[in-house]
Chain A
């Protein structure tokens, strides 16, 4: 009797473990379970998850079955005279010692996987990831033999604010209609078949690009508050902490070249915590080398300093930058919100003597306002300032030229 029970349990456990291993395929994107991910590490993590889930499910089912058995078989109608026992040393030792062995059984594979995850040696590419409120900054530091690449860019949420941002209570407390209607018809849930579509909340303007089949080391830090870099398909997350540099690595198999993996910031970082997604594009090594060379060439040219011909030209360039980088805090109409000041007819915007101050705030930041010196070129900053001073009913006619923007 006891042995059959044991055999059944063992069979069930083995089946659960094997089903976990068999399902460890990145094509499976379950609604109910952890994603197996795309790397060897993420699949190890997934297998570990399935083993532990199997064990705890088994323990849970056992405990609940005993309780239910008591509830049905030992109710007062069926068992009017309760038993008297209230101690059993053997039993108590058994249910202290057996869990101990189960824990050792879990700890061994967990330790093995953890040691592997922490080994960042022998990487081909080093990327520095910096979290800021509320965007990611990627810098390519070293690739293969080149230790001085010096390519970097910012990555922002690409879903336009007007899609997600609504004035409080507009449209009623419980809007009528499906969410697809409200967030846009073309935005459909992420699945295996449409992972490259424009995805609500998990789409960015500049993707992090990495090569397939090579170990990529990430150096992760932050420049204001703590963020956390998490791409579920890589199987780990790591906090980005100001003043610290954390390390992590990934190795996407070569056959996954051309795919895109998405993640999000996972540590509460302020107002727009939910609005700083991560998109990683995996290219084949040849394509990656080519892409990197293009980026380097563009960086080597230096910033474009050609002056604007007219206010309109500058505003045309400034509007999309404003919508991407400023509208999240200051509002699409420059109306401001909460602690973020309004630009509509504000003294800073309409007073001609304060042009330079306006430029300086953008360059160097002030209070909660971040510095944009590293994110935007002088021409872009000139365009945004021109836009601010002429849009939202300000109409000062001020034209700021790239040369006016001095670090």
Chain B
């Protein structure tokens, strides 16, 4: 049918630069995010090399601060978010039986903005490392609290502001595209409550993005006018308020952390039923839990700010609301466990990653519950305990779910199975090293080591050595993934993948050939 009005697939640079095809744009996003993951990881290696021993031995403390800032920004905006957008581009049309994303040209734009945004940011780091006179790159933490970032920010802060604006524009365009696609382009018969959970989690994530990215844009615009146009939004000396900055930042920042984890919930909710050969337990409650987490995320921002000095009633409100998030999150974890319960489990790589996700994300969630208790949070806040907490959620949570997704859908994307041997090496090596890397951070945090420290007192020395060993090991482990991807995507070497790939797989994406053809679903499938 489709062949009668054939679209010739574009080739060469046009295929990528001018792409309007959701699969190609998805691949661009995924490769871009993997490149950023390696760059951000490299910056983390500088941090860990410095912290391996007490004393300053590798970099200047100011360069250390530039590393913590850009590591955070690149990982959040360059690695995790584009990775999920890439996954959404690839999978949402396939999952809902649509021919493409609803707004393909905007899709092209939303991707191609990103390389420019990050070239600006990374450019300031390169200038700092190699430039004449070494003008510092952004050096105020990924949270860029005023007045450190406004009154005392280096000249490169303007690059940073422009870069954040571009990332925000890209995210909003991507989110609009997801919403329009999901609302309008579902195959006949696919009601909302029949959509795969991954589509649900992305739909909710997209609403979160549209709600909060403008808040971030507002914050950086106020910074810009504070820096250059004589306003004093965040300067107490001019009648402004540095705490206002934190309220605005975290009103964006807290939903942002759910933007980085909700699609992960969707991925895991697709993988566990496949390898348990049993439908997802509690589909409806999973949808409601996701929505409640998203709604609650708007009323808990100040739990990042318990130490700024809030009225008692404010602290109590934010403590209770934060504690409440553990209820829907717990429902999700229990549902995954119940999906596995009395299933017929096999442990292919995607399932291994998914189980590791559930266990390690739960550790991060439980330390999050500890952090919600305000009086104790005074002790944990801004210590390595917090660093341990959010890396368990973001690395062994969000990023592990991405790995699970890549191994799960790679055969569908490329038509060949991944290299099982190096995939296994990647999994076990990452699993052991990620725990060596982040678990001891709980201990140094509780013992009293503040975060973002370029040097530390001697009682923290032993754990920091182990943490650095874990960090280098985890960094090297990712090169195994690079090899697995090169082999499957470019060399096309590996066992030929069937259409269904996995025995227990369910969903429209498994009804089309592997690799998925350039255009799928020109005639929509009918969902019963």
- Contact assessment for B343 and A190 in the assembled complex, using a CB-CB cutoff below 8 Å: no
Question: 1/0 per position for B108-151, CB-CB distance to A under 8 A?
Answer: 00000000000000000000000000101001110001011001
Q: Does B331 contact A (CB under 8 A)?
A: yes
Q: Does B20 contact A (CB under 8 A)?
A: no
Q: Does B338 contact A (CB under 8 A)?
A: yes
- Contact assessment for A48 and B326 in the assembled complex, using a CB-CB cutoff below 8 Å: no
- Contact assessment for B136 and A339 in the assembled complex, using a CB-CB cutoff below 8 Å: yes
Q: Does A10 contact B (CB under 8 A)?
A: no
Interface-located stretch among A28-36, A249-257, A371-379 = A28-36
Shortest beta-carbon distance, B68 to chain A, in Å?
A: 8
Assess A53 versus B378: contact at CB under 8 Å? Given A190-B459, A239-B307, A239-B309. Answer: no
Q: Which residue on chain B has the smallest CB distance to residue A97? A: B327
Bound CA–CA A368/B312 (angstroms): 36
Interface-located stretch among A76-84, A304-312, A384-392, A398-406 = A76-84
Q: Does B523 contact A (CB under 8 A)?
A: no
Bound CA–CA A239/B451 (angstroms): 15
Q: Does A91 contact B (CB under 8 A)?
A: yes
Assess A103 versus B326: contact at CB under 8 Å? Given A56-B366, A91-B338, A338-B134. Answer: yes
A114 surroundings in chain B (CB, below 8 A) = 312, 315-316, 319, 374-375
Contact of B370 among A52, A87, A99, A115 (CB under 8 A): A52
Interface residues of A in 189-203 (CB under 8 A from B): 189-191, 199-202
Shortest beta-carbon distance, B459 to chain A, in Å?
A: 4
Bound CA–CA A191/B447 (angstroms): 12
Question: 1/0 per position for B374-403, CB-CB distance to A under 8 A?
Answer: 111011011100000000000000000000
Assess A232 versus B280: contact at CB under 8 Å? Given A45-B379, A168-B60, A247-B309. Answer: no
Bound CA–CA A52/B374 (angstroms): 12
Shortest beta-carbon distance, B176 to chain A, in Å?
A: 33
Contact of A52 among B60, B337, B345, B369 (CB under 8 A): B369
- Contact assessment for B344 and A80 in the assembled complex, using a CB-CB cutoff below 8 Å: yes
Q: How many residues of B contact A (CB 8 A)?
A: 101
Q: Does B166 contact A (CB under 8 A)?
A: no
Shortest beta-carbon distance, B105 to chain A, in Å?
A: 40
- Contact assessment for B309 and A246 in the assembled complex, using a CB-CB cutoff below 8 Å: yes
Question: 1/0 per position for A221-235, CB-CB distance to B under 8 A?
Answer: 000111010101001
A-B CB pair tally, cutoff 8 Å: 321
Assess A243 versus B237: contact at CB under 8 Å? Given A48-B376, A114-B315, A266-B450. Answer: yes
- Contact assessment for A74 and B461 in the assembled complex, using a CB-CB cutoff below 8 Å: no
Q: Does A5 contact B (CB under 8 A)?
A: no
- Contact assessment for B55 and A164 in the assembled complex, using a CB-CB cutoff below 8 Å: yes
- Contact assessment for A225 and B147 in the assembled complex, using a CB-CB cutoff below 8 Å: yes
Interface-located stretch among A57-65, A207-215, A313-321 = A57-65
Bound CA–CA A199/B457 (angstroms): 8
Question: 1/0 per position for A173-194, CB-CB distance to B under 8 A?
Answer: 1110001101100011111000
Q: Does A337 contact B (CB under 8 A)?
A: yes
Q: Which residue on chain A has the smallest CB distance to residue B359? A: A64
Bound CA–CA A92/B432 (angstroms): 33
Bound CA–CA A168/B59 (angstroms): 6
Assess A337 versus B374: contact at CB under 8 Å? Given A79-B344, A99-B330. Answer: no
Interface residues of B in 227-243 (CB under 8 A from A): 236-237, 241-243
Q: Does A324 contact B (CB under 8 A)?
A: no
Bound CA–CA A87/B378 (angstroms): 41
Q: Does B106 contact A (CB under 8 A)?
A: no
Contact of B278 among A86, A103, A117 (CB under 8 A): A86
Shortest beta-carbon distance, A192 to chain B, in Å?
A: 11
- Contact assessment for B343 and A33 in the assembled complex, using a CB-CB cutoff below 8 Å: no
Shortest beta-carbon distance, B64 to chain A, in Å?
A: 9
Interface residues of A in 110-167 (CB under 8 A from B): 110-111, 113-115, 117-118, 133, 163-166
Bound CA–CA A238/B279 (angstroms): 49
- Contact assessment for A103 and B355 in the assembled complex, using a CB-CB cutoff below 8 Å: no
Assess A83 versus B278: contact at CB under 8 Å? Given A53-B370, A225-B148. Answer: yes
Question: 1/0 per position for A250-285, CB-CB distance to B under 8 A?
Answer: 000000000000011111111111110000000000
Contact of B375 among A45, A163, A191, A264 (CB under 8 A): A45
A232 surroundings in chain B (CB, below 8 A) = 379, 448
Q: Does A85 contact B (CB under 8 A)?
A: yes
Contact of B358 among A53, A67, A171 (CB under 8 A): A67
Shortest beta-carbon distance, A273 to chain B, in Å?
A: 6
Q: Does A3 contact B (CB under 8 A)?
A: no
- Contact assessment for A269 and B148 in the assembled complex, using a CB-CB cutoff below 8 Å: yes
A4 surroundings in chain B (CB, below 8 A) = none
Contact of B52 among A174, A236, A275 (CB under 8 A): A174
Q: Does B373 contact A (CB under 8 A)?
A: yes
Assess A182 versus B307: contact at CB under 8 Å? Given A80-B344, A235-B379. Answer: no
Q: Does A244 contact B (CB under 8 A)?
A: yes
- Contact assessment for A74 and B366 in the assembled complex, using a CB-CB cutoff below 8 Å: no
Contact of A63 among B236, B327, B333, B369 (CB under 8 A): B333
Shortest beta-carbon distance, B146 to chain A, in Å?
A: 8
Q: Does B437 contact A (CB under 8 A)?
A: no
Q: Does B281 contact A (CB under 8 A)?
A: yes
B140 surroundings in chain A (CB, below 8 A) = 268
Bound CA–CA A198/B65 (angstroms): 27
- Contact assessment for A106 and B323 in the assembled complex, using a CB-CB cutoff below 8 Å: yes
- Contact assessment for A239 and B277 in the assembled complex, using a CB-CB cutoff below 8 Å: no
Interface residues of B in 352-380 (CB under 8 A from A): 355, 358-359, 362-363, 366-367, 369-370, 373-376, 378-379
- Contact assessment for A338 and B62 in the assembled complex, using a CB-CB cutoff below 8 Å: yes
B312 surroundings in chain A (CB, below 8 A) = 114-115, 118
Q: Does A300 contact B (CB under 8 A)?
A: no
Bound CA–CA A384/B379 (angstroms): 39
Bound CA–CA A357/B366 (angstroms): 58
Assess A35 versus B152: contact at CB under 8 Å? Given A60-B362, A189-B458, A239-B308. Answer: no
Contact of B454 among A163, A183, A273, A339 (CB under 8 A): A273
Bound CA–CA A117/B145 (angstroms): 26
B369 surroundings in chain A (CB, below 8 A) = 52, 56
Assess A82 versus B309: contact at CB under 8 Å? Given A95-B331, A243-B237. Answer: no
Shortest beta-carbon distance, A260 to chain B, in Å?
A: 14
Q: Does A100 contact B (CB under 8 A)?
A: yes
Bound CA–CA A32/B320 (angstroms): 28
Contact of A76 among B237, B346, B374 (CB under 8 A): B346
Contact of B379 among A70, A200, A236, A264 (CB under 8 A): A236
Q: Which residue on chain B has the smallest CB distance to residue A87? A: B282
Q: Given A52-B373, A166-B55, A243-B237, output 10 extra A-B contacts at Cβ < 8 Å.
A: A67-B337, A67-B340, A84-B278, A84-B279, A92-B331, A235-B378, A266-B450, A268-B65, A269-B148, A274-B452
A-B contact pairs, 15 of them (CB 8 A): A31-B463, A33-B443, A35-B447, A56-B369, A63-B333, A64-B359, A87-B283, A110-B373, A183-B458, A224-B147, A228-B382, A264-B453, A270-B65, A270-B148, A368-B152
> Interface residues, chain B, CB within 8 Å of chain A?
49, 52-62, 65, 68, 134, 136, 139-141, 145, 147-148, 151-152, 154, 236-237, 241-243, 276-283, 285, 307-309, 312, 315-316, 319-320, 323-324, 326-327, 330-331, 333-335, 337-347, 355, 358-359, 362-363, 366-367, 369-370, 373-376, 378-379, 381-383, 443, 446-448, 450-459, 461, 463
Can you list the 6 inter-chain pairs with the closest CB atoms, starting with the nearest?
A243-B236, A246-B309, A56-B366, A82-B344, A83-B342, A86-B279
> Interface residues, chain A, CB within 8 Å of chain B?
30-35, 44-45, 48-49, 52-53, 56-57, 59-60, 63-64, 66-67, 70-71, 74-76, 79-88, 91-92, 95-96, 99-100, 103, 106-107, 110-111, 113-115, 117-118, 133, 163-166, 168-169, 171, 173-175, 179-180, 182-183, 187-191, 199-202, 224-226, 228, 230, 232, 235-239, 241-244, 246-247, 263-275, 337-339, 368
